[in-house]
Structure 1
Amino acid sequence: MGGLAAAIGLRRVGFGVTVVERARVLDDAGAGISLAANGIRALDALGVGDAVRAASARQLTGGTRTPRGGLLAEMDGAALERALGAPIAGIPRSDLHAVLRAALAPGALVTGAEVTALDLADPARPRVAFGGTTLAADLVVAADGVGSRLRGRLFPTAPGHVHSGSTVLRAITERPVEVGGDFELTWGRGAEFGHLRFADGRVEWHAVLNAPAGVRYPDPLAEVRRRFGHWHDPIPALLAATAPKAVLHHDIAELRTPLPSFVSGRVALLGDAAHAMTPHLGQGDCQALEDAVTLAAALAGEPSIDAALHRYDAERRPRAQSVARAARRAGRMGEQLAHPVAVAARNAALRLAPAGATVRAILRHAAWVPPRLDPR
């Protein structure tokens, strides 16, 4: 998503862009996404905010519960909208990708082509080889994910991504399901179950477990039912409305050691390639969208590409790495917390927290205002 957003932003400020995607068929893998206000604002700056709003559901009600259904903290989405001027929105990832692809220039997206070489002999004109083609570019944007090969090439001594200690199973229900809130999290001991409602009434759910990397189950849905099927409503109904083949299973990885820079020469790292974080704040995709808008604005506003990349790194690296640290802390106090005494203490603290504490916690990360994207 970050790569598509960057392509839209760069085109918007006057650059010609080629997006290279190794997948031959865009099957839109992935379940759903909850976009905080900063992500919606970034999409507005890219000119696709209205289309995303039309395809998404506002998240106005919800909160955090115990496995038996006891309320720990309430989320007031309406208060957040009033404070931020933008909603929290739930949307299938496939729909969001479709909106972003539709905003690309015709022919800009090349599929089924893997980058096979990056020639940096001329620092001002890196050359990229893919699918039998070589292009010389003013700038290469590396948005190749948490396992980025280009990141390893640019920063060979930096530690790569590591397993966070958690694994996630997720799916979208086959049919609409009546749920009590638009967005909800349930915290157990070393486990989390969450759901978000889509505009068509279907629901995305995710189940996060403390587990070593590489653990897989012969029947993932049966395992989720075993672990979460006795938790409060509507969790059993969500699992009953899910097809076994719809369940996706991924280990959660992160860049625990921050990079020294998001830039090397005329190559800019973006999204998970630059700052892969755990999902506990729901900010990973939003930070990638912020990257895309900030990079485009810097290139439009600075006198040279080198100056623009310096500005991009200076503006994005401190914020994205700060959010990544906060997400890691949130996981340790949320889903990853397993000791019964610690879980009980956390739950008591949440129940005693003053009204509005959840809103203030979300505002801390979502109150970001994008720069204007003026053509060069």
Structure 2
Amino acid sequence: MSADRPQPAQSLRIAVVGAGSSGLLLTLLLQRQGHQVELFERSPRLRSEGCGILLVRSGVEAIAAAGIPGLLDALLAGGRPVEQFVIRNLRGDLIETSPAEREPGELPSLLIRRQAILEALWRHADPGSFRGGTELEHWQQDGDGVEARFSNGQHWRGDLLIGADGVFSRVAPLLAPQRRLHYLGDRVWRGVVADGRVLGPGDFLVVARGRGVYANAFDLGPEDPAAGGPPITHWGFFQEEPLPTSRAEQRRLLQEPVPEQALAKVPADLAALIRATPPERVVANWSFDIEPLPQLVAGRVALIGDAGHAMSSSQARGMTAGLEDAVSLARHLAGSGAPQGALAAYEAERLPVVHRYQERSRAISARTGRIRAPQQQAVTAR
């Protein structure tokens, strides 16, 4: 361990479940502190799927606060600072433009591919700690530690278990049995395509009518910033519809492309861009959030990211909140107190913050939805 890294009061055995952005960042921060960290992931390999994301300034600031040499520079090089926000109506007419405000010396909000974030984090992690193809089945704790059992028959026992396993968390239900997913009313498609005709550099576009958002798109810059090439555009398309009760039907509908009758409602240039996107570069999902939980910690177990506070994308705070969680939890674990006390201090710091994020995101979703979304429709985890 490098001499410039903080020395932990004790080297803890820690399991992090979920290798998304928050789980990866927490893992490498704890490894740098000298803890024995194993990163468990349901997928057999590092997940890099997904499209683009607006990483708001506080998310970029969380990366800076992590203090990992080269990480912030990698993200800034791999993304595009937001330059302006553009609103167009369904005919394509301009409604409003507003510049992205930034004071001199401030970090920008970034338009960046999820893959670029995950790969930048992974380059700093210890690959020997990665346990792919391990889906959590159950965990339990006692006064001496935590034990976890995985679907491949693997067992783990250690000091702390951290659930960073997203909206469909397997860690969270035992920590917070009242946790339920709530459907927000949208089937959502997202894609990335090489096309620079719709947007200018650093543009974030919203297509809306009245209070309803139909689609968005933003500029990601060249696919390989070092080599240049044509700009990549991220797009999202939102269709409000009931959630089928059958999981098989839910999965089937997520394999469909955006319906032509829906595409006909948005400006022709954006519709053409969506049609031109290769199917392998499109992902689809149903939109969920959860009600604010009364706790993020139970003894030796804690939740970070969407596992503890999944929210709508309306405020672009989902990934940011998870990165902030990781930095906060690592900071508290670097202290000299007992690990359970560090987790309790993390919860006291983060719970009111993420509650505000969740409430604000829900309120914005309610205002911008075209119809009243069935927000109280409870859904069990898959």
The structure that is helix-richer by fraction is 1
Q: Which of 50, 53, 62 is equivalent to 2:85?
A: 62
CA contact (8 A) 1:299 1:308 kept: yes
User: Do 2:254 and 2:285's aligned partners in 1 also have CA atoms closer than 8 Å?
Assistant: no
Distance 1:265 1:72, change over 3 A: farther
For 1:218 and 1:51, how far apart are their aligned partners in 2?
33
Q: Secondary structure of the residue that 2:76 maps to in structure 1?
A: helix
Matched to 1:167, the amino acid is R
Structure 1 partner of 2:308: 274
- Name 1:129's counterpart in structure 2: 149
The reply to whether residue 50 of structure 1 matches residue 70 of structure 2 is: no
**Residue 196 (str. 1) matches residue 230 (str. 2):** no
Higher strand content, 1 or 2: 2
1:145 partner amino acid:
G
Cα distance in 2 between the residues matched to 1:73 and 1:301? 48
Shift of 1:219: 7.2
Q: Which residue number in structure 2 is paired with residue 325 of structure 1? A: 359
Task: Give, as a single letter, the amino acid of the residue that structure 1 aligns with 2:241.
Answer: A
Q: CA deviation at 1:71?
A: 3.9
Equivalent residue for 1:85?
106
Contact 1:39 1:285 in 2 (8 A): yes
1:290 to 1:222, Cα distance in 2 relative to 1, 3 A? closer
RMSD (Å) for aligned C-alpha atoms:
2.2
Distance in 1 separating the partners of 2:199 and 2:138 = 51
Q: Is the aligned partner of 1:210 residue 2:240?
A: yes
Instruction: Give me the whole-angstrom Cα distance separating, in 2, the residues matched to 1:170 and 1:114.
Output: 26
Contact preservation (8 Å) 1:5, 1:289: yes
For residues 55-81 of structure 1, give each alpha carbon's deviation from its aligned partner in whole angstroms, at most 9, with x where no partner exists.
Answer: 11111122223222344443322x2x3
Q: 2:287 aligns with which of 245, 248, 252?
A: 252
Which of 176, 181, 201 aligns to 2:195? It is 176
Does structure 1 retain, via aligned residues, the 8 Å contact 2:56–2:108?
yes
Structure 2: where are the runs of 5+ without partners?
Answer: 1-20, 223-230, 245-249, 373-382
Does the 8 A contact of 2:296 with 2:304 survive in 1?
yes
- Read off the aligned partner of 2:306 and give its amino acid letter: D
1:263–1:313 CA contact under 8 A, matched in 2: yes
Cα distance change of structure 1 residues 219 and 307 upon mapping to structure 2, 3 Å threshold: closer
Question: 1:155 matched to which residue of 2?
Answer: 176
Deviations 1:291-339 (A, max 9, x none): 10011111113522122111111111111111111111111111x1349
2: CA distance, partners of 1:76 / 1:301: 41
Superposed displacement of residue 110, structure 1: 1.2
Specify every segment of 5 or more residues in structure 1 that has no aligned partner in the other structure, as ranges.
Answer: 340-376
Give the equivalent residue in structure 1 for 2:128. Answer: 107
Q: What is the DSSP-based 3-state SS (H/G/I as helix, E as strand, rest coil) of the residue aligned with 2:111?
A: strand
CA contact (8 A) 1:220 1:244 kept: no
Q: 1:301 & 1:25 partners in 2: Cα distance?
A: 33
Does residue 228 (structure 1) correspond to residue 263 (structure 2)? The answer is yes
Partner SS for 2:237: strand
Percent of matched pairs sharing the same residue:
29
Report the Cα offset of residue 217 of structure 1.
Answer: 4.3
